Amino acid sequence: MPELPEVEVARRAIEDHCIGKTIKRSIVANDSKVIEGVSASDFEAALVGKTIVAAYRKGKNLWLQLDSPPFPSFQFGMAGAIYIKGVAVTTYKRSAVKDTDEWPSKYSKVFIQLDDGLEFSFTDKRRFAKVRLLEDPTSAPPISELGPDALLELKSVDEFVESLSKKKTAIKALLLDQSYISGIGNWVADEVLYQFVMQAKIHPLQIASSLSRESCATLHKCIKEVVHYAVQVDADSSRFPPKWMFHFRWGKKPGKVNGKKIEFITAGGRTTAFVPDLQKLSRNQAANAVSKPQKQSGRKKGHKDDSDNDDVDEPASDEDKIAESVKPKKGAKSRGQGRTFPAKRKSKESDDDDDNTEDNDGEDDEDQKKVTNNKQLKAEKTNKKKVPTGKNGKNAKKKAK
């Protein structure tokens, strides 16, 4: 969060209320983690006196076209948001500003007052957003590196099927790859792969190239309809269809969607909600996953999550984790067999949304400690049995005394 629907709603709000107006005053936060490549004072000077001509978006990035460059661009990250004073703009999980809060918010990164008195602000409580001042946002990263926009530039069905046939990575990781298709984030990816209404039923770790043409076509339809619907209702989740996964996927809490159990795995480096009763791996892929030894996760302990650059999610080799989602039948193996020990990962993302955290309750560590302690006890018993005897042994005991 926010993803394409939320950013598009913000763009439309600016378009409806700010176009044609001149910037009278600006306050830019002195926060180099968010405000990239320019001082706060220079940023402010570049805005004041300029007229807002248009508001554009690609993927999860938004930028304002002024009557002359440079132009401010906003990469929303995990908690970026646009607020217009006195105007209802859809809020979402992790948004920080409430109607009763101070204005502008203490989390404001760019505050703008227009010549008619209207005020708006870009806020970011968690400081993973990036705000830039660019001569041409479309020709500079990250926007220049984005793939087709999922709302405005979605490939045709035939092009989509053809492109998937060449991709040897897990389907969710591919959908999160902003250079392949831009605007899809964690919740949209989970939704389109599950899609109860349109019967997508695609396992998030299914290799893209292994999908049938029918599955590819269904996925294409799901992407189109989910994104369009979310935008149509102003990204207001209370208006999303009640059978959508969205309503049940947050917090990694045990639960059910449409009567089916939800489980959580890691796919594309992100916590992923899916319904194993419906979203099944193909037989060949499931069999291969069980027969092959699992590789260690590439993430190291303490590795910083990609969430601080949420618009350039890198596809991880998540097919290595397929075996985690392929569970043996009860009683098929004795206790302790087939268990996996997930690599620990410390993340700064630990709020109500679980998108970038993997929980580890320490249970596996305790089991490992028990194994180590048992080995040590056995070693000690063995050493006691091997006490030196004979003349050399007596001498050794005397020396020890």
Active site residue 172: no
- From residue 57, give the alpha-carbon distance in Å to each of 73, 142, 220, 239, 292: 9, 12, 21, 23, 43
Residue in 2, 5, 104, 204 annotated catalytic: 2
Q: Check residue 356 and report its DSSP letter.
A: T
Is 60 assigned a catalytic role? yes
CA nearest 326: which of 355, 283, 296? Answer: 283
- Answer yes or no: 342 catalytic: no
Give the 3-state secondary structure of residue 53: strand
Sorted by sequence, the CB contacts under 8 Å of residue 236 that are 6+ apart come out as 90
Residue 144 CA to residue 136 CA, distance in Å, equals 10
**Burial grade of 296 (CB within 10 A; 0-12, 13-18, 19 or more):** exposed
Task: Name the CA radius of gyration of the chain, rounded.
Answer: 27
Question: In Å, how far from its chain's centre is CA 163?
Answer: 23
Token pair listed for 326: 């392929």
Q: Which two tokens stand for residue 288?
A: 């291969």
Catalytic residue among 5, 6, 8, 60: 60
Distance in angstroms (rounded) separating the CA atoms of residues 307 and 186 = 11
15: Cβ–Cβ under 8 A, 6 or more apart, which residues? 54, 55
Contact 273, 264 (CB under 8 A): yes
CA-CA distances (angstroms) from residue 235 to 27, 35, 188, 239?
28, 26, 11, 8
Catalytic residues, by residue number, are 2-3, 60
